[in-house]
Amino acid sequence: MKKLLVFLVLVIGAAMWGKSMLTGEPILRVGSSELVNPYPPGSALHAQQQEFVDQFNADPKLRDRFAGRFTSKGLYAEVTGALQRGARSLDSAQLISVTRAMAAVIPRLREENCAKLIRPKDDFDPVLSADISDALERLPPRHHRNFWNFYLSSLKAEVNDLPERPVDGPARERALEELGSRYHGPTGQRLANVMRDPVRAPDAEACWAINTLTHTSTQLSPDHAEALARLIWGGQ
């Protein structure tokens, strides 16, 4: 069960960003040499997106780091590395808040799109991306803001070369043990059945698996929730 949980936790980390939000066409357009907000002022996502844009454009290190890379792949092609860097350097509050934001989005996706999050797929999925944007619009603004604050802080961790926290192996083992204790008997078998072949699993079961693991990872004791958040976003 422990190996299964490690695998599923890593899948969670790739799901929201790598598969949907930051591949293919960018969420942020590029105007002249600066990022610009793609959401109109009347959009529910405009204000918190503008915070990201303003803070990015105000940081000369970030602009220099990504100069010439403002294309549909540029800034976003490095998202995985940026998030992993953030997971190694940022504080527990940011890591847990972005995981809770993800946990709030997943139950609001259509079942067929939710199921995609746990299935191997590298290509951009415009249907899934649109469903995620719609879910974010129906949530309190803090969730969208937490996603982009985490990404911005992760980028800053890289350009400012913030200290990296050593991986706490024993803490991660204890966190996985607590997580595993929530899945025993029929529930544990149900989870194992999905992970045995997530591609063939029914949409309802695949969606249940990623939904329950994401939510439960945020409900553990504080130290364990932090350890799992570092594993989710850091991939180690």
| CA count, 13 A, side-chain hemisphere, 25 | 8
Nearest-angstrom CA–CA distance, 25 and 4? 33
Local confidence band at 215 (pLDDT 50, 70, 90 cut-offs): very high
Of 101, 110, 86, nearest to 48 by C-alpha is 101
Which residues are within 8 A (CB) of 11 and not within 5 positions of it... i.e. 6 or more apart? 117, 118, 210
pLDDT, residue 26, reads 46
Local confidence band at 21 (pLDDT 50, 70, 90 cut-offs): low
Give pLDDT tens digits for 87-127: 899 999 999 998 999 899 999 999 999 998 888 765 567 78
Residue 229 phi/psi, 5-degree rounding, is -65, -40
Q: Is the pLDDT of residue 163 over 90?
A: yes
Name beta bridge partners: 34. 31
Domains of the chain by residue range = 2-234
pLDDT, residue 54, reads 93
Give pLDDT tens digits for 28-56: 555 556 777 878 898 888 898 899 889 98
